Every structure is written in structure tokens, then in C-alpha cells.
């Protein structure tokens, strides 16, 4: 197995760079999950699709060829940096997608405009998921549906759980706690209740399990830093502290290590709701 040494990793990153997010995490995490989400959505030619919390737009970009010339795809996010990367990527791929900077709780669209509303791993980042789901319900057609995926709690995510524990020990408890953000303590019943409180009557919640691979633990940690606020605290830590951080994660992920690097499960809830 070929790995870069701890010392060869470049820890100087621009914090939370959308370009780094697109380069490092979209191919290995968000593209496979977008493909799963879109496959379940059964998008057809002529459909009008809304991608909420679009980020750099991988869900919208994969949906666009499916709707054909008679359909449409709109991607919404409240981060102009993410949308700038999404716009550039879609143009390079020759895709026609409308991008809108907007809040998920105040969508600038008429009622029942869309046949399908998608949201990939965005629900935990809304201040309150219920108003966002109410807006999704408002803009989806009466015979349409909303499909979301949401990461299961951290205990089901061995890679990120190992990193969270190591961060707490070596960088600071608040940084370990930050790793819980994408993986809220919701279970299937919680998601059912949230959707029902938002006005949906027909709610289905299932569990989907995929995997994530990185060529090394060092790569996993450095890419996590490059795409999040971890860039500064890890970058400012001494080399000795970073070495200890990396070794702790290596020890925890020993059972997920092979000749190609590390691979570990990534579990999500998939919630499908109808009006």
C-alpha cells in the first residue's frame, strides 16, 4: 500500500472552499449518493425538478439530462460560492440548469411548480427542518413527491466517528462536536414526525448503506479539513499534534484498511414524502 507520510500532507487550506468540496468530496461521496437518490426519484422526460441545498449542484447536474428539452431543473442554495462552482461545472458539462440563491424556508417559486423536489444531505443544516419541509410541500405538485437523504447518527459512520473522537482529544472538544452536524441524532420515527409536522401525510423512511473510500487516513483527514472549518485548527496545530491525530484515526480504522487505503460504511436515511 502506498501512502503519503504525515509530513508530506499540505495542511494550508482555504477554510471551507467550495472548490475543494467539489474536487474532494463530490466524486467520492456526493455523486454516488446523488445517483441513488435520482434512481429512486424515477425522473422522466418533461419533469420539472428542484434540487434544494444544492451545494455545487451534483444532484441538479445528474438530473438535467433526464428531463430532456421539455423539462427543467432548478438548483437552490444560500451559499453564493457553492452556486458559483455549480454554475461553472454545469456550463462545462453543457447543461441547462437554473441556479437560484435562496433560503430553503422562503423559496421564490409558485405553488406546485415542481414534479419532484430533491434534497441531498441538506436537512440537518437548516435551522429548523419543519419550515423547510413545508416550503418543499408548497412548491411540489399535488401528484409529485419529495425525496431526501439524511446521514444517520455518528455511531453508524465509523470513519467520521473516529475522526470526531480524535479531534476532541487533540484539537478541541468543540471540533469533535462539529462532526455531529451532518449526522443528527434523528431516527426513522423522528423523520416521520418532522415530515408529518410539516403537513405530509404519506411518508416513507428507509435505510440505505453505502461506502466511502480514501487512499489513506491522511488524505481523509486533509480533505475533511479542506472542505470545512477544520482547516484553521488543524492547520494551526503542531506537526506532533497532527501526527497523534492521524495515528488515532488509523488505529480506529485498522479494521477498514486494505491495500488500496481505507473504506468504511456511510449510512443514510432516505425519506420519500407525498402531499
Average pLDDT value for the chain = 94
Q: Is residue 1 part of a domain?
A: no
Q: Is residue 136 part of a domain?
A: yes
272 pLDDT band, cuts 50/70/90, is very high
| Residue range 76-83: mean pLDDT, rounded | 97
Q: Is residue 206 part of a domain?
A: yes
Tell me the residue range of the domain where 154 lies. 6-274
Q: Is residue 158 part of a domain?
A: yes
Residue 215 sits in a domain of what CATH number?
A: 3.40.50.150
Q: Is residue 49 part of a domain?
A: yes
Q: Is residue 27 part of a domain?
A: yes
What HEC string does the chain produce?
CCCCCHHHCCCCCCCCCHHHHHHHHHHHHHHHHHHHHHHHHCCCCCCEEEEECCCCCHHHHHHHHHHCCCCEEEEEECCHHHHHHHHHHHHHCCCCCEEEECCCCCCCCCCCCEEEEEEECCHHHCCCHHHHHHHHHHHEEEEEEEEEEEECCHHHCHHHHHHHHHHHHHCCHHHHHHCCCCCCCCCHHHHHHHHHHCCCCEEEEEEEEEEEEECCHHHHHHHHHHCCCCHHHHHHCCHHHHHHHHHHHHHHCHHHEECCEEEEEEEEEEEEEEC
* pLDDT tens per residue, range 80-108: 999 999 999 999 999 999 999 999 999 99
Q: Is residue 74 part of a domain?
A: yes
Number of domains in the chain: 1
4 pLDDT band, cuts 50/70/90, is very low
Q: Is residue 249 part of a domain?
A: yes
Amino acid at each position: 500500500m502506498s501512502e503519503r507520510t504525515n509530513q508530506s500532507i499540505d495542511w494550508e487550506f482555504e477554510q471551507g472552499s467550495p472548490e475543494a468540496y467539489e474536487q474532494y468530496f463530490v466524486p467520492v461521496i456526493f455523486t454516488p449518493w446523488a445517483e441513488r437518490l435520482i434512481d429512486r426519484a424515477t425522473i422522466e422526460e418533461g419533469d420539472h425538478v428542484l434540487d434544494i441545498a444544492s451545494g455545487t449542484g451534483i444532484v441538479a447536474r445528474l438530473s438535467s439530462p433526464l428531463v430532456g428539452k421539455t423539462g427543467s431543473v432548478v438548483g437552490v442554495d444560500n451559499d453564493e460560492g457553492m452556486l458559483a462552482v455549480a454554475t461553472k461545472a454545469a456550463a462545462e458539462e453543457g447543461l441547462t440548469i437554473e441556479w437560484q440563491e435562496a433560503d430553503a424556508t422562503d423559496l421564490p417559486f409558485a405553488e406546485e411548480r415542481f414534479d419532484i423536489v430533491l434534497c441531498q444531505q441538506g436537512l440537518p443544516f437548516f435551522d429548523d427542518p419543519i419550515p423547510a419541509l413545508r416550503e418543499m410541500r408548497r412548491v411540489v405538485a399535488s401528484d409529485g413527491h419529495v425525496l431526501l437523504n439524511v446521514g444517520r447518527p455518528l455511531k453508524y459512520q465509523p470513519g467520521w466517528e473516529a475522526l470526531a473522537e480524535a479531534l476532541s482529544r487533540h484539537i478541541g472538544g468543540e471540533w469533535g462536536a462539529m462532526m455531529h452536524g451532518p449526522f443528527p441524532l434523528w431516527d426513522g420515527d423522528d423523520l416521520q414526525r418532522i415530515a408529518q409536522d410539516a403537513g405530509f401525510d404519506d411518508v416513507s423512511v428507509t435505510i440505505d448503506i453505502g461506502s466511502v473510500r480514501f487512499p489513506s487516513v491522511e488524505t481523509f483527514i486533509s480533505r475533511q479539513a479542506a472542505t470545512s472549518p477544520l482547516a484553521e485548527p488543524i492547520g494551526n496545530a503542531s506537526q506532533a499534534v497532527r501526527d497523534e491525530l492521524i495515528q488515532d484515526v488509523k488505529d480506529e480504522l485498522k479494521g477498514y484498511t486494505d491495500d488500496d487505503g481505507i473504506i468504511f460504511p456511510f449510512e443514510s436515511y432516505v425519506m420519500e414524502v407525498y402531499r
